[in-house]
């Protein structure tokens, strides 16, 4: 019962966030990010040449405001963007229509989906790339959600995920964050928004709300995730960015991607400009 309540709260939190907090660093309101997002996807997250993406079918699993959807469309992909939140899907459509060309926007399809219980029709589909940034660790069962989306990567498919790393925070810091989340959890979202602004003055409200409002925020090690992905049939699993958080690319058949691989990036990484 408690798990169900936590999940309901987390889903409601993100639904509020996508509707009421659409602006922030590294979002579609950030001009630098919008200009650079195709390069970030190609050169830092996937480490694949940009020409690989042209014509590829991609699942953006948990699209949020559509910031990565925009980049994938600009790279030439056909994108199915999914999210549990209707407000997220609405924002994604709005942002794609305003930031992409007519031809790019025509390659977008939107679908509501729970990553723990995929719609039957979606579960039968296969994609060249499954992309999920900062989503699976909010589901309440990262392993199960990852297994669901990993299955959607085709025979020669790729997968990219970003997850919170267990080694990014000490046990004490993780406990402190958990206490803050549970203290804030009963508050109405409008009041919680004010409280978070008071607790973390001068910090990007969207990012801090993301950190403190959802009650489900699990963390994992690379070794754990690597084991899951290898069991799901991915032969090559690497961290594309050397960081305590987990930026993970998985390839089913590495030889298929060999002509398109580019070196892993070095510092400064794209997100460090916001530190």
Report pLDDT digits (tens) over 150-196.
999 999 999 999 999 999 999 999 999 999 998 999 999 999 999 98
Provide the 3-class DSSP secondary structure of residue 248.
strand
User: Using one digit for the tens of pLDDT, what is the confidence trace for 116-132?
Assistant: 999 999 999 999 999 99
pTM of the model: 0.97
Those residues of the chain that have pLDDT short of 70 are: 1-2
Best CA proximity match to 64, nearest among 100, 95, 97, 25: 95
What fold characterizes domain 2-258?
Answer: Rossmann fold (3.40.50)
Q: How far apart are CA 5 and CA 206, in angstroms?
A: 23
14 burial via Cβ count (<10 Å: 0-12, 13-18, 19+): buried
Residue 88: partners with Cβ closer than 8 Å, 6 or more residues away: 14, 15, 18, 63, 64, 65, 66
178 is written with which tokens? Answer: 């958990």
């Amino acid at each position: 019962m408690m798990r169900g309540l936590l999940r309901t709260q987390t889903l409601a939190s993100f639904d509020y966030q996508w509707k009421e907090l659409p602006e922030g660093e590294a979002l579609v309101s950030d001009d630098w990010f919008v200009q650079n997002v195709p390069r970030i996807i190609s050169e830092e997250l996937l480490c694949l040449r940009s020409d690989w993406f042209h014509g590829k079918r991609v699942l953006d699993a948990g699209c949020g405001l559509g910031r990565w959807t925009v980049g994938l469309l600009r790279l030439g992909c056909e994108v199915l963007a999914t999210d549990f939140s209707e407000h997220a899907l609405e924002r994604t459509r709005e942002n794609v229509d305003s930031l992409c060309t007519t031809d790019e926007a025509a390659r977008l399809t939107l679908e509501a989906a729970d990553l723990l219980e995929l719609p039957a029709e979606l579960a039968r589909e296969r994609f060249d790339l499954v992309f999920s940034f900062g989503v699976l660790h909010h589901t309440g069962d990262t392993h199960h959600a990852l297994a669901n989306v990993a299955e959607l990567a085709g025979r020669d498919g790729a997968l990219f995920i970003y997850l919170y790393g267990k080694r990014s925070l000490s046990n004490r810091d993780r406990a402190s964050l958990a206490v803050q989340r549970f203290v804030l959890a009963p508050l109405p979202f409008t009041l919680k928004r004010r409280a978070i602004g008071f607790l973390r003055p001068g910090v990007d409200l969207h990012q801090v709300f993301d950190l403190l409002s959802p009650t489900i925020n699990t963390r994992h090690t690379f070794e754990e995730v690597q084991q899951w992905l290898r069991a799901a049939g991915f032969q090559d699993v690497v961290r594309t960015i050397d960081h305590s958080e987990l930026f993970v690319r998985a390839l089913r058949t590495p030889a298929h991607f060999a002509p398109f691989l580019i070196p892993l990036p070095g510092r400064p990484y794209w997100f460090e400009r916001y530190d």
